Structure 1
Amino acid sequence: METLQTTSQQTVHAPQQTNGLPKVIVQAVTSKKQLAQFIDFPHDLYRNDENYVPELFIAQRDLLTPGKHPFHEHSKLQAFLAFRGNEIVGRIAAIDNTNHNIFNKTNDGFFGFFDCINDSEVSQALFSAATKWLKERKFSTMIGPVNFSTNETCGLLIEGFDGPPVVMMTYNYPYYVKLIEEAGLGTKITMYAWKIIPQYMNDRPFRVMTVLKERLTRRNITFRSVNLKNFDEEVKNIHAIYNSAWDKNLGFVPMTEKEFEYLAKDLKMILDPDFGIIAEENGKMVGFALAIPDINQILRKIKRGRLFPTGILKLLLGKKKINGVRVLALGVLESHRKLGIDACFYGELMKVGRAKGVAYGEGSWILETNEMMNAAMRGINADPYRTYRIYEKEI
């Protein structure tokens, strides 16, 4: 049987409460049964929240299982479940991201997959277990929530709880802010999600794009859509751009070839090639932009993230009805920035969105310190409608 990473401390007991409730016990996840409980806990926690979107069980299982996801080839994690009596009341994962620390020359530990009832005793017990695991590995800092890094879902939602999250974005109860800050964590970075409504957009991006494209053509920079018939080669080149264009972002860690291929394989199933735009100079890729359909419109209807027996039909039949997108990535090689390529990407994505009748788009996430991207969002009348935060503390 495959098992998760084990830890020397299998069980953590919290102090007995004075109100007569059973003590909180935190257990390390070491079996397939416990992993299933870890994945399913949020479904029960959010069962009355209409904005909750369940993760697909099979995707979460593979993400968290060594031998299934390439993250585990270079790093490790330990998942924990909190029990009060026989009831699961919280979960967390402590994460050792080796590649992050090598690339950034840091000594950071991480936490992720945090979900908890509104109870400080439970959250404190979970953070104590995660902190202990990280301290045993000599880390000096705990950062999160990240699942596993900024290349995957990350950040705590702190503003904008009035609707479901878009694809590959996080969602949580507002009280998580209190629980995390009570555990001694403070703000590391704030991130924004910008909502773009086509009917409120001005036409400036299209006018600018026309002028810029003429100028860029003179230096042999052209634009095209992703070629799905040559997908493997496209992924290889986009991977190189991704690792180069984002390398100075806070907390960035390069994706390995296997990690990027794993992500690309998943995205290919929902990708509309018209929303994948590539910039080339003399036939060599220098930038790309990617918007993906907001498949959360369908996933929120799939009970407990199970594709069978009916979830797969909802997925297949609902794909064509999706009317929203998320701008997942937009990057240009440093040598080709400030030429207007990014502005052309904005214009092209909006042009495609209007043609396809897209009702909304989300640009996310964008660091609060990224003045250029935030200014670009303001310039097209986008709304900074959601705010996320990554926390940290010394341990």
Structure 2
Amino acid sequence: MSDRNSTTLPGGTPPTIRVTSESVRIVPINGSRDLRRFIRLPSSFYADDPAWIPPLLIERREQFSPRNPYFAHAHCCFWLAYRGTRPVGRISAQIDELHEARYRDATGFFGLLEAENEADTFRALLSTAETWLRNQGMSRIRGPFNLSINQECGLLVEGYDTPPMIMMGHARPYYADRIAAEGYQRSKDLLAYRVTTDFTPPALMRAAVNKAAGCVRIRPLRRPSMNEELRILKEIFEDAWSANWGFIPFTEEEFRHLGHSLRLLVDDEGVQIAEVDGIPAGMIIALPNLNEAIRDLHGRLLPFGWLKLLWRLKVKRPTTARVALMGIRKYFQRSALGTALAFMLIDAVRGYGIRRGIREVELSWILEDNMRMRDMLAIIGGVPYKRYRIYEKALQ
């Protein structure tokens, strides 16, 4: 993890403790004890929330590890808020060199925000992140990103009554009001769509697929050629998403890191690649909903949590899944063939889901203004059931 006059993990020299009011003080985290508090803090705010699913502690610790390739191109600082000796909030601030190189807009980010329902706590946390970013030369703050746009992003503002899917966030309803009260405006909304796997393909979908069948082949992941497959997936993703709002490419190391996760979690049929006349043109990645399997583990795999998790993933199997990545090369996107490719990929994952006992799939996230994709999902019965919001604010 690189350093720009910031707290680093592990180690580093923290800046002076900032006292923002008589009752709330903000402390930069420094060392393993603070990190444990930072990671475990959200559970205290969601203990009575039936939709909350405690994330695996081992996964959260890995997020902060120097092995996380995100830190090779980002500068970060992390803080805890205290009332007396009791932690009551947390936040991160980060500057992504890849974003700045691409957009040159002096935008920094905040994330990992969790706090009690008190205005002064939110004000103290957000103002601390703003000050740090301003001191680093940033003129705008945007978030939440946990930690990047290629990871968890957005604050849940609709859909509090259902649990989050794998790698998606959850929040209390008061978070949105508290953030808005500090002068933050909506920058972009992201939608999560829910689709049942037993839908009947509509006539438009069948017609598009039949017309393209002669030149298109849909195939699953070839695990023995994993490195080559990852290269193909990365190339399609970067071409398909390059014009999207906020897009930042994965580094080679980040995509290898993602590939390691795919090896452990995803079946070969959960990854489908579309080829047009033998050339890779589109892809889709569906993840079994790990959150369904870990709901009652309280974030722990020891002593017997790992046995429960293994049995639930390999024997009982989740009944839900999430399409986390999908892309069609730009050359095809605004053509009838592009529509057919998208339908064929969705149908391939649907068939896999039915065979695996998956009843429902979330497609997320979808940009609110991506009407082409939204219209396509509506055709197959997709319903937007969660909304996540990205906020931003000028740093005066």
TM-score bin (small chain): over 0.9
1:205–1:343 Cα contact (<8 Å) kept = no
Bigger shift: 150-159 or 2-11? 2-11
Partner of 1:270: 265
- Find the aligned partners of 1:266 and 1:144 in 2 and give their Cα distance: 25
Q: Return the alpha-carbon distance in structure 2 between the equivalents of residues 4 and 94 of structure 1.
A: 16
For this pair of structures, how many residues does the alignment match? 382
CA RMSD of aligned residues (A): 1.7
Q: Identify which of 226, 229, 237 aligns with 2:232.
A: 237
Report the AA paired with residue 316 of structure 1.
Answer: L
Q: Does 1:289 align with 2:288?
A: no
| Equivalent residue, structure 1, for 2:18 | 12
Match of 2:306 among 301, 306, 312: 312
Q: Deviations over 1:219-252 (max 9, x none)?
A: xx32211111211211122112112211111111
Is residue 336 from structure 1 mapped to residue 342 from structure 2 by the alignment? Answer: no
Separation (CA, whole Å) in 2 of partners of 1:201 and 1:168: 28
Q: Which residue of 2 aligns with 1:195?
A: 194
Give, in angstroms, the shift of residue 284 of structure 1: 3.1
Q: 1:14 Cα shift?
A: 2.0
Going from structure 1 to structure 2, the CA distance change for 1:324 and 1:212 (only over 3 Å counts) comes to farther
Structure 2: 5+ residue runs without aligned partners? 1-7
CA distance in 2, matches of 1:208, 1:366: 25
Amino acid at match of 1:285: P
Contact 2:155/2:390 (8 A) holds in 1? yes
Structure 1: tracts of 5 or more residues without a match: 17-22
Q: d(CA) in 2 for partners of 1:7 and 1:369? A: 43
**Higher mean Cα deviation, 271-280 or 171-180?**
271-280
Letter in 2 for 1:328: A
Q: Structure 1 pair 336/4, CA: closer, same or farther in 2 (3 Å)?
A: same
Distance, in Å, in 1 between the alignment partners of 2:287 and 2:348 is 14
Give the drift of 1:204: 3.8
Question: How do residues 130-149 of structure 1 correspond to structure 2 at under 5 angstroms?
Answer: 130-149=129-148
- Answer whether contact 1:91 1:126 (CA < 8 A) is retained: yes
Distance 1:344 1:200, change over 3 A: closer
Cα distance in structure 1, aligned partners of 2:282 and 2:85: 52
Q: Where does residue 372 of structure 1 map in the other structure?
A: 372
| CA drift at 1:10 | 3.2
Deviation at 1:268, TM superposition (A): 2.0
Cα distance in structure 2, aligned partners of 1:293 and 1:158: 24
For the residue of structure 2 that corresponds to 1:269, the secondary structure is helix
Equivalent position amino acid for 2:282 in 1: G
8 Å contact kept, 1:205–1:380: no
The question of whether the paired residues in 2 share the 8 Å contact of 1:5 and 1:76 is answered with: no
Return the offset for 1:281: 3.3
